[in-house]
């Protein structure tokens, strides 16, 4: 089964209803400057360790800058055995825009 797209509103609903894993694949400087609460920063340096320790049965939401790179990453994580993977539509940019409304 392939990854799915998830809107910010649906992400908020899902995270309120069940335990999920949120990962942020942006660069370390951008992540440090700001990220969604509970997000785990994933880079090439900690990718293998993250996959080895992660709960593959928990929904996994991938966040990037604009929701483009996260699609490829969500597909990758799906291929690594994560059962329920999502790409956050619009990424962190859309998140910040919505939070400032």
Write down the catalytic residue from 54, 62, 63, 64.
64
Identify whether 64 is a catalytic site residue.
yes
Q: How far apart are CA 1 and CA 15, in angstroms?
A: 21
CA distances in angstroms from 62 to 22, 29, 72, 82, 84, listed in the order given: 6, 18, 10, 12, 11
User: Which residues have a catalytic role annotated?
Assistant: 64
């Amino acid at each position: 089964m392939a990854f799915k797209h998830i809107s910010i509103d649906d992400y908020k609903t899902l995270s309120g209803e069940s335990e999920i894993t949120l990962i942020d694949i942006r660069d370390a400087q951008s992540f440090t400057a700001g990220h969604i609460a509970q997000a785990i920063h994933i880079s090439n340096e900690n990718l293998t360790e993250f996959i080895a320790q992660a709960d593959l049965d928990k929904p996994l939401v991938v966040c990037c800058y604009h929701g483009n790179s996260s699609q490829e990453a969500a597909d990758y994580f799906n291929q690594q055995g994560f059962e329920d993977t999502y790409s956050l539509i619009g990424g962190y940019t859309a998140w910040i825009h919505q939070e400032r409304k």
